Amino acid sequence: MKYAFAKRVRHLQSSVVRDILKIVNQGNVISFAGGLPDDGLFPTEAIKDAFTSAFEKGNKAFQYGETEGYRPLREVILERMGHKGIQGYDADNVLLTTGSQQAIDLLARVMISPGDVLLTEEPTYLAALQVFQSYEAQIIPVQCDENGMIMDDLKEKIKQYHPKMLYVVPTFSNPSGRVWSLERRKELIRIVKKQNVLVFEDDPYGDIQFTNESYTPIAALDNGSHVLYTSTFSKTAVPALRTGWIVGPYQIIRMMAQAKQANDLHSNSLAHQALYELCRNFDLDGHIKKISSVYGERKDIMVYHLQKAQREGLIKFVEPKGGMFLWLELQEQVNAEALLPRAVEKGMAYVPGAPFYAEAPKLNTLRLNFTHATDNQIKIGMDILIRMLEEVDVERTQLKSL
Ligand code: PMP
């Protein structure tokens, strides 16, 4: 039987990279490819206690609930976001989702018609690109530097394409680790208000910080009209509870709740109740500080081992100040995707950068995750990577001299 799938699934094809990485997960390869937090740091006992408290409520803890999610948790989330300056909302402005990934999907579902233009950073989060493509958005990347989107290019593209929405990961981006400066955030708000464009701010990593600098979410600069903000418990507590949220203008949140009703009625409300107990009875902020400090040390180890290759001109990178990723630019002619099988054979894996681009990929880029491997694995893995890049450099020099 030849199955006649819907046209939209053409964007869901498996890729060679995904197939290679599937093999990596089964073998002895040190992987820097996934975006996984360290399960050794999960607050398992506190989560157990939180579920016990939820169970003590009796059978009603297991009942169907509101599509928007467990209200007391939405209120706790609002309180936590208030500390970041995101204020002026009530629980009706918050929708709990199955991870922030579902928030991306639902927002695209209610806002994007085929052909609508969506502006993104370059590079940007791969799984968001896949969602936007599945709703047949026209994705236009805006040029970026280490401080965020370049505002002149943004203005130009708004003028040229009349986009409906802008998707940004302004704090410790996946994949680039980039942080937008405050000036760019303020300028962005000024521009979108003038031009009436929505901003979708995705902030799963903002709390994983290695310095004492503070970063104002773009949503904190808005007055509740132009920004939708999503975040998640996946990186700060555990991903398995699949709980994220989105906050924004009521009309949009309400429409998303209706779309969610059709999708899954509501998210896992038992997880919501446990997360509520966790936020109330456990020092989640202390825990976030603890994991951030461990991740920061791992980032330091990775950076330390990469510095030699940086001095030799084999790689370029900007040291991240938070998040989970380090973004490498290799020498211009080196193709990170073509090199992946060789790296895997030698015992390490990364994600090539190309799929993070909506168009014109930079083939000489790759993403490394530093939160899941141990210190020793990071050392071994970086040695393998650097030796391979040195070999490639020698081979290219020999080829040139032929
Ligand atoms: N946005 C970004 C930028 C991400 O990196 C991720 C996780 N990889 C998500 C959203 C989704 O996270 P979750 O669904 O686990 O909340």
Domains of the chain: 7-42+286-401 (3.90.1150.10), 44-283 (3.40.640.10)
For ligand 1, the distance from its centroid to the CA atom of residue 127, given in whole angstroms, is: 8
- CB 163 near ligand 1, within 6 Å: no
* pTM listed for this prediction: 0.96
- CB 99 near ligand 1, within 6 Å: yes
Atom 5, ligand 1: residue with shortest CA distance: 174
Q: Looking at residue 16, what is its pLDDT?
A: 66
Q: Looking at residue 19, what is its pLDDT?
A: 76
Q: Looking at residue 363, what is its pLDDT?
A: 97
- CB 105 near ligand 1, within 6 Å: no
- CB 35 near ligand 1, within 6 Å: yes
Q: Looking at residue 7, what is its pLDDT?
A: 82
For ligand 1, the distance from its centroid to the CA atom of residue 228, given in whole angstroms, is: 15
Q: Looking at residue 28, what is its pLDDT?
A: 87
For ligand 1, the distance from its centroid to the CA atom of residue 234, given in whole angstroms, is: 8
- CB 120 near ligand 1, within 6 Å: no
What residues of the chain score a pLDDT lower than 70? Answer: 13-14, 16, 402
Q: Looking at residue 396, what is its pLDDT?
A: 85
- CB 177 near ligand 1, within 6 Å: no
For ligand 1, the distance from its centroid to the CA atom of residue 243, given in whole angstroms, is: 11
SS3 per-residue string spanning the chain: CCCCCCHHHHHHCCCHHHHHHHHHHHCCCEECCCCCCCHHHCCHHHHHHHHHHHHCCCHHHHCCCCCCCCHHHHHHHHHHHHCCCCCCCCHHHEEEEEHHHHHHHHHHHHHCCCCCEEEECCCCCHHHHHHHHHCCCEEEECCEECCEECHHHHHHHHHHHCCCEEEECCECCCCCCCECCHHHHHHHHHHHHHHCCEEEEECCCCCCECCCCCCCCHHHHCCCCCEEEEEECCCCCCHHHCEEEEECCHHHHHHHHHHHHHHHCCCCHHHHHHHHHHHHHCCHHHHHHHHHHHHHHHHHHHHHHHHHHHHCCCEECCCCCECCEEEEEECCCCCHHHHHHHHHHHCEECEECHHHCCCCCCCCEEEEECCCCCHHHHHHHHHHHHHHHHHHHHHHHHHHHC
- CB 132 near ligand 1, within 6 Å: no
- CB 123 near ligand 1, within 6 Å: no
Q: Looking at residue 13, what is its pLDDT?
A: 67
Q: Looking at residue 9, what is its pLDDT?
A: 81
